[in-house]
C-alpha cells in the first residue's frame, strides 16, 4: 500500500504541465528559457560538472561579453531567489561578492550546458540550412 518512489515521481510529473499558461511550471520554464539564465549557468557550471566554481560579479561580467549590468544583476537576483545559486558577500575593501551554483542549479546546468554544446556543435549545419533556405526562395 505504501506508494513507491516511482509512483510519487509520476504523481509529481502529472501535477504540473508546462503547456498550460496558468501553470507555475510554465512560468518557471519561461524563466529558464532565457539567454542570460542559460549563459550564467554555463559560466558558473564550467565545462564539466566538476568544474563548477564560485565566481565574482566582475568575472561573470567579463566572461559573458555583451551583458548589461542591469540584466546581469537582475538575472543573478532571480536565480538566487529561486535557489539556483548562492550570493556571498565578503566585507573586504573593496567589497567582494561571489556567486556559486547550488545542487539544484548544477542539475539545471546539465541541460543548459547541453544547449551551449548543441549550438557550438551544430552551428555549421545551421549556417548551411540558412543559405539553402535563402537560395530556395530568395
Partner DNA sequence: CAGGATCCCGCTAGATACTG
Partner DNA sequence: CAGTATCTAGCGGGATCCTG
Which residues lie near its own copies (CB under 8 A)?
Answer: 9, 12-13, 15-22, 24-26, 28-30, 32-35, 37-39, 42-43, 63-66, 80-83, 104, 107-108, 111-112, 114-130, 132-133
Q: How far is the CB of 131 from its own copies (least distance, A)?
A: 10
C-alpha pair distances (Å), 35 with each of 32, 42, 52: 8, 11, 19
* Dist. CA 128–CA 102, nearest whole Å: 39
Q: How far is the CB of 85 from its own copies (least distance, A)?
A: 11
Sign (positive or negative) of CA dihedral 48, 45, 67, 28: positive
Q: If contact means CB under 5 to 8 A according to the sort of partner, which of its own copies, DNA, none does residue 122 touch?
A: its own copies
Looking at beta carbons only, is 49 or 83 nearer to its own copies? 83
* Dist. CA 6–CA 80, nearest whole Å: 30
Amino acid at each position: 500500500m505504501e506508494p513507491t518512489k516511482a509512483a510519487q515521481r509520476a504523481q509529481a510529473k502529472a501535477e504540473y504541465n508546462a503547456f498550460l499558461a496558468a501553470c507555475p511550471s510554465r512560468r518557471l520554464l519561461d524563466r529558464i528559457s532565457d539567454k542570460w539564465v542559460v549563459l550564467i549557468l554555463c559560466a558558473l557550471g564550467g565545462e564539466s560538472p566538476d568544474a563548477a566554481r564560485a565566481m565574482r560579479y566582475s568575472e561573470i561580467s567579463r566572461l559573458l561579453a555583451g551583458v548589461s549590468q542591469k540584466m546581469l544583476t537582475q538575472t543573478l537576483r532571480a536565480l538566487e531567489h529561486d535557489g539556483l545559486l548562492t550570493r556571498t558577500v565578503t566585507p573586504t575593501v573593496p567589497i567582494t561578492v561571489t556567486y556559486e551554483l547550488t545542487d539544484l542549479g548544477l542539475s539545471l546546468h546539465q541541460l543548459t550546458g547541453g544547449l551551449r554544446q548543441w549550438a557550438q556543435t551544430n552551428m555549421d549545419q545551421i549556417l548551411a540550412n540558412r543559405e539553402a533556405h535563402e537560395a530556395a526562395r530568395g
